[in-house]
Chain A
């Protein structure tokens, strides 16, 4: 009985963690190249999910509708990088953050203006009837939850392979590691960074339709997830995709276990647990578990 409760909480933690990791992955994609913390990443994902929803509501088959949202996400990412981020230069943390704050407000309000403030229900990607689950040692793994984890793992494996084994991946890593040297060996650094934003936009737009069936679709659906994603990316290291996934899962599992075993914390302080982890990591090892330490150039 005890063990079953533990297992239930663990599974729940992994499920939540997968969502955090997913969005953290998007944050990492933009941060690696542009050194930009895109606070508006969740909002971008949200509006793309609305696009997918509108397409589906107008008779487009769901997979195509999601693909449409992903394409919009990628293109918006590229457009934002080209017009709003690149002109500010590489060291403009403050300005970039402000631009992202502006984007956050604008995208959030724009979605509210177009689609209204009422939450919408989003069609499930996989069968989601009460008996659509896989039982594992007495714990129900719902298809709807499993699909997020599966897509996440496939995505990370694909990204890892691209980064590790392709010329494009090597260009991206070189550009992130030392932009000046990268351009001297022939890497088109700006173009590579723009691809980071394309990836981020697409990854976010893919996440939205996966979680919307359970969270419902609304303009505020990503408010807490973006915070968790920041925490996950901090734990893993802002420039490490693998770190983002580990960080996301770690936070998801920790907050759920702490919530169930520490009575004082309970479910209402789950987010606090994540934020405290974030603060502790920032104080002890700001570069995170797998991130590169930033060397300050004078």
Chain B
């Protein structure tokens, strides 16, 4: 394996792992439900995407086919993350979860 591929794979792995961790820290640390929604939809999706990309590079550097299923999973996650965030936000508005006091504006009545 060429040293360039090795650097790229290692960098992507650490980048991906770090972003997944940041997403989870956001989920654990942010003050109310709506702010917590931001961590998983962005940071975690990017983190998993980076890990997928490193897997694609790793297996093509090992001389196997280009991993189309990795790309398929990444595209699927990118398409579904906003949909589930939206559904959860609607459910939260229906239940009327508490929002942070400093939040400007109001959620809609459901």
The answer to whether A and B interact is no
**Which residues of B line the A interface, CB within 8 A?**
none
